Structures are given as C-alpha cells and as structure tokens.
Structure 1
Amino acid sequence: MNKSLLKYLSGSLTRMLLLLASASMLSFFLVTASPMNAVDAFLGEINVSDEQRGHIEEQWDLDKPPLQRYVIWAKRALHGDLGRSVSLHQPVASVLRERFKASLLLMGTAWTLSGALGLVLGVAAGTYRDSWLDKIVRTFSLVLASTPTFWIGLLVLVVFAVELHWFPLGLSIPIGRLASEVTWGERLHHLVLPALTLSITGVANIALHTRQKLIDVLESEYVVFARARGETLGQIIRRHGLRNIALPAVTLQCASVSELFGGSVLAEKVFSYPGLGATAVEAGLHADAPLLMGIALFSVLFVFAGNLAANLIYGFVDPQIREGGRSSV
C-alpha cells in the first residue's frame, strides 16, 4: 500500500467521522423538533396517569433537555451502544443487523441488475444510433426516469401478483412459516418483484449516459482513424468504446447507491418487505429517535462506502488516475 493511498484513506476516514457526527446531530434535533411525541406514539389509545407517563419519559431520558440527551446518546454510541428502539423494544444494533440482511439482498440484486441492464441498453443504443432500437431505449429510459418508484411498484404488483398470480403479494418469506424453515427458492420468489421494481428505476440514467458517452467516442478522431485502418464496428466497440465508457459507468453506478437506498424505502413499503427502508418509515411514524438515528448513521456509512468504492475502482479502471496520484505525493 503506497503513501498516496494511505493519505487518501486517512482523509476519507476523517471526512466520514465528521459526516457521521453532523448526520447524528441533524437527525437528533430534527426528531426533537418534530410535533410527534414518542410517548404518545407508544401508548396509542391507552390512558395512563401523569406519574406513569413521567416514569416512561424518565426511562427514555425524555425528561432531560435535548442537548443533554444528545450528549448521553453520543457517549453511548462511541462505545457501540446505539440505544434501544422505542417502537420495537429491541436494541437498535440488533434491529439494524436483522433488517440489513433483507435490505442487502434486495438492494444488491437491484444494484447489479440496474447496472448490467443499463450498460447493455446504453451500448446497444449508442452503437446503433437513431435506429428503431435506439428510439425504443431512449423512450423507455425517459419514461422510467419520470415515473415514481411507488407507482412502478404498484403496477408490477397488480400485473404479476394480482392478475397473473406469478409472485406473492409481499413480505420476504411465506406467511406462517418460520424463517429457519424457508428455503432460498422461496426467498428468491418473494424477492423478484421488489428487486425488479428497484432495479428498473436505476436503469434510465445509466443507459442514457452510457449511450451519449459511446456516441461521443464513435465520433472522435481516433475512431475515424480506426475505421480507416479497417477495424469493424465490433472491434471499435471492444477496443475503444468499452474502455472509454467504463469510468463514467462506474461513477454513475456507485453514485446510484444513495438513490437505491432512498428508493428502497418506497419499494419496501409497497411490497411490505421487512428491510431498513420500511423500518425507517415505521420509526418516523412512532417518533423512534434512537432507531431513526441508527438508520441515519447506517445510511451515511452505506452511501459513503459506495462513493469510496467508486474512487478506489477509478485507479484500476484508468491508469492515468493511478499515475496522477503517485506524482502528486
């Protein structure tokens, strides 16, 4: 590991810590300023005495000023204790660990599908510019880019689950079955529709951007020279096109992690999929500050990891970036 990489990683770690601190403070004070009350959300229609209510507030540290509550939470968080969920009555770390397993499978599948499909469609449209295939890809991408995720989810649900009965209506496992008894085939059967919905929304940007970058490459002078040397279109795409569109494709794909995380909130609610997105909605409805802050910190780490991965991959995709980094040290 060279010095430039160590310097970059140390700087990234510092930025990540500052970002986590800022996200935790912002999340905490936004929840505090919210009109929703955690005790009211917890009790629902149950009437309790003022003494019992005060005991609950004392147990959750709600009787203390907001700044003091944040300091208490931050001290515990530094030791790995993210608190206890008010709505789920479980440690926040356990909830995040359990729900992330479901979300990771969903988002990982959708991320892979959207990247592969977007790249293939973009290359096909750029290669055969202004053809019927190009027009179909552009129309398809523009329609998807302007369509809300929840609407696509509802449409997919109505067609494939309600009308055709090909897939279940929701959840990640069959109803009435223990998680230990569920096979991987059944899990994948429940995963298809939410993963398809989430991946479709990420295809448009990658396809359109890849198409335009490939068109720019095919109109460049060195491609004209390659044509003059007798190279076929397939050889030009393999030798020149894919190399030049790889870096922008990696950039878009890794940057789409944040959009993927945001889209999973809507997709998981539509399909009642028990992941982090659906958990974030429930935590917001119940003013569950510890759980909301835990999800906020986790989402920051998730998105930051995606951006960091993109920056590290750049050096492997483009040798010029590696040389530039070495010369700057």
Structure 2
Amino acid sequence: MSGPGSMSTTVYKGLGRYFSSTLVRMLTLLGAVSLISFMLIALSPIDPIDAYLGDAHVSEEQRANIAEHWGLNKSPVERYGIWITHVLQGDMGESITYRQPVAKVIGERFRASLALMGVAWVLSGVLGFTLGIIAAVNKGKWIDRFIKTFCLILASTPLFWLGLLFLMVFAVYLQWFPLGLAAPINKLAHEVTLGDKIYHLILPALTLSITGVAGIALHTRQKFIDVLKSEYVLFAKARGEKPREIIRRHGLRNIALPGITLQFASVSELFGGSVLAEKVFSYPGLGNAATHAGLKGDAPLLLGIALFSVLFVFTGNFLANVIYGIVDPQIREGGSS
C-alpha cells in the first residue's frame, strides 16, 4: 500500500517527464524552423546587397566588401553553421535593415506588438465568448440568426481589407482615430503619453480582434447548446433553478475548458494576423519589422523573428496545458500518472 510520500514522488516524476518532453519538443521545433527558414531565405530571389544599397551605385570591389562584412560571400551551409554557432552563444547577429543587434530590434518591436496582440486577444475572447452564449441561450431566435450570420461574414473577410475599411470609415471619414503609427508624429518620444498610445492602439487592436471573434463565438455557441441539452441541466430546470443560475453554475463551468483551448490556440493566428494589421496601420511592431526584413533580405532578423515567434506560440500552448490541469483536475491526475 503506497503512502502520501510515494504518491508525491510519482507526481513529481510525472511532472519531470512532462517538462523534459516539452523541452525536447521545443528544441526540436526550434531547430527545424531555423533550418527551413534559412533554406527559404537562401532560395529567395531578393539580393540582400542590392536591397541594402537601394539606388546607390558602387563598384564591384565595394560590393565585395559589403558581402564580406555581412558574411554573404560564404556558401549557405557555412552561413548557417556560423549563425547557429553564434545563436547557441547568445548572439543572434546584427540586422542589415536596422543596423542594430537582432535581439535589441526584437525586444523594442515586441513591446509594441505585445500591447496590440494582448488587447486584441482579450477582446476576441470576451466578445466571442459573450456572443456565443447569447446565441446559444436564444437558439432559433432572430438574435441567434443575426450572430451566426455576423460571424460567418467575419470569418470570410480578409484582415487587410477589414483594416482598410476601418481606416476609411473611422480615420478618414469620421476622423475618430488617427491614420496609423503608435504615437503622434509631431511629438518626441518623451512627450508621448499613455493616452496617446492607447488612442493609436484602439483601431488596429479592434481590427485584429474581430477576425478571431467568429471562431470563438460559433464554437462556444455549439458547446453551450450541447450543455443545455444535457441531463443535469434538464434536472436543474426540473428543480426550479432560474436560467441565470443554470448558465452560471452549469453552463460556464462546462464550456470553460473548450473555451480556453480555443482561446490559446488563437495565439498563433493573432501573431500571424498582427503582421497584416501592423502593415495596414503602419504600426511599428514585430510584424512590421518582419515585413521590412523580408523585403530587404535581412536573414539575421528574419531568423530571429522566426525563432521568437516559435517560442511565443509554444509558450502560449504550454500555458494552455497548465491551465487545463487547473480547470479540470482529471487532466492533472491523468498527466501525473
């Protein structure tokens, strides 16, 4: 008969195996993404030297010096070997586009992107969850049909088109919001207030969040309808519980786990969508930097952003798994065994 001590040991061993396997998967994924990304960059028709020089005309000797400075005179295999060696030493190289260390560029740009994606992530979750519950409770009524139609339209609308539409309506015609950027163009960095940043953040965050609302709302609606048809909800109605109590005590608890699953799964979509949103609104975030790096053939910055995006999405999925165990004890017990 095993005692509490042996049970604790089993739990710790199970957690140790889980974290070890998670770390191995993450390192394998990082290696695969770095190799595939480097191959795609090497096969790109964009010449980094031409992109770097622009319209400037230089001699062949100067081109050779530039290529030697950036290590572009070596074969792709040599360049990848040098790059991966430096990365393992904590050096991600220098950006050809911004002439700054890649880690510094990613750190500065990610702060702006994090604010954009964070607000959009919360808005999409809250709006989608709320609309899904409203549609499920009013199944078959006009409000249910309206929400489903609205969600289907959103799901089929391209993000960049929606962003341009919002710009024309709210920034150009109504002039409620600025045309873009993360701060007023006529202010120095130390003069920009928190209110200015929020004011410039609203429109791109709203655009980015709306694209994720449809999937969450439709998924929540269907799951909630299934809950309302369950036997324990019918029993609760027979006992005389009010609809509000049924939703709070039985409905929300049973759709929490699927909602968390879908919400954290949307992290990768938000990261990808932020590239288009930042480009449309000229928002100086990580997605905008990735666009400029791609057009300039900036391999160090592109590879750094690729690795960082993998870490960001992987962390989101990992947090989802941790929260699963908190919300549903059965998953936690199953994982420990």
Q: Does the alignment reach a TM-score above 0.5?
A: yes
Task: Tell me by how many angstroms 1:35 deviates.
Answer: 0.8
Match of 1:5 in 2: 15
Match of 1:21 in 2: 31
Measure the CA separation in 2 of the matches of 1:249 and 1:201: 16
From 192, 216, 220, the equivalent of 1:206 is: 216
Q: Which amino acid aligns with 2:264?
A: C
Q: SS at 2:17's partner residue?
A: helix
How far does the alpha carbon of each residue in 1:153-189 deviate from its partner, in whole angstroms, 9 at most, with x for none?
0111111100111110000010032212100000000
CA RMSD in angstroms comes to 1.0
| Counterparts of residues 99-138 of structure 1 (less than 5 Å) | 99-138=109-148
From 319, 324, 328, the equivalent of 1:318 is: 328
**If the length of structure 2 is used for normalisation, what is the TM-score?**
0.95
How far does the alpha carbon of each residue in 1:96-122 deviate from its partner, in whole angstroms, 9 at most, with x for none?
000001000000000001001111111
Measure the CA separation in 2 of the matches of 1:6 and 1:126: 41
Measure the CA separation in 2 of the matches of 1:13 and 1:50: 47
From 295, 298, 311, the equivalent of 1:285 is: 295
| Counterparts of residues 107-256 of structure 1 (less than 5 Å) | 107-256=117-266
Measure the CA separation in 1 of the matches of 2:16 and 2:129: 32
Q: Which amino acid aligns with 1:123?
A: I
Q: SS at 1:168's partner residue?
A: coil
Q: Which amino acid aligns with 1:199?
A: S
1:72 aligns with 2:82: yes
How far does the alpha carbon of each residue in 1:260-290 deviate from its partner, in whole angstroms, 9 at most, with x for none?
0110011001100000111111111001000
1:262 aligns with 2:272: yes
Measure the CA separation in 1 of the matches of 2:314 and 2:62: 42
Measure the CA separation in 2 of the matches of 1:313 and 1:179: 38
Measure the CA separation in 2 of the matches of 1:298 and 1:173: 25
Measure the CA separation in 2 of the matches of 1:249 and 1:4: 26
Measure the CA separation in 1 of the matches of 2:115 and 2:190: 17
Measure the CA separation in 1 of the matches of 2:59 and 2:50: 13
Q: Which amino acid aligns with 1:242?
A: L
Q: SS at 2:266's partner residue?
A: helix
Measure the CA separation in 2 of the matches of 1:213 and 1:53: 61
Measure the CA separation in 1 of the matches of 2:189 and 2:326: 41
Instruction: State, as a whole percentage, how many aligned pairs show the same letter.
Output: 65
Task: Tell me by how many angstroms 1:231 deviates.
Answer: 1.6
**If the length of structure 1 is used for normalisation, what is the TM-score?**
0.98
Match of 2:8 in 1: none
Match of 2:3 in 1: none
Task: Tell me by how many angstroms 1:242 deviates.
Answer: 0.6
Measure the CA separation in 1 of the matches of 2:39 and 2:328: 43
Task: Tell me by how many angstroms 1:2 deviates.
Answer: 2.9
Task: Tell me by how many angstroms 1:248 deviates.
Answer: 0.6
Measure the CA separation in 2 of the matches of 1:180 and 1:210: 44
Measure the CA separation in 2 of the matches of 1:99 and 1:221: 51
Q: SS at 1:159's partner residue?
A: helix
Measure the CA separation in 1 of the matches of 2:210 and 2:73: 46
Measure the CA separation in 2 of the matches of 1:324 and 1:206: 27
1:95 aligns with 2:93: no
Task: Tell me by how many angstroms 1:88 deviates.
Answer: 1.1
Task: Tell me by how many angstroms 1:6 deviates.
Answer: 2.5
Q: SS at 1:176's partner residue?
A: coil
Measure the CA separation in 1 of the matches of 2:14 and 2:156: 42
Q: Count how many residue pairs are aligned between Structure 1 and Structure 2.
A: 327
Measure the CA separation in 2 of the matches of 1:71 and 1:109: 39
Q: SS at 2:177's partner residue?
A: coil
Task: Tell me by how many angstroms 1:131 deviates.
Answer: 1.3
Measure the CA separation in 2 of the matches of 1:98 and 1:13: 27
Q: Which runs of no fewer than 5 residues in structure 1 stay unpaired?
A: none
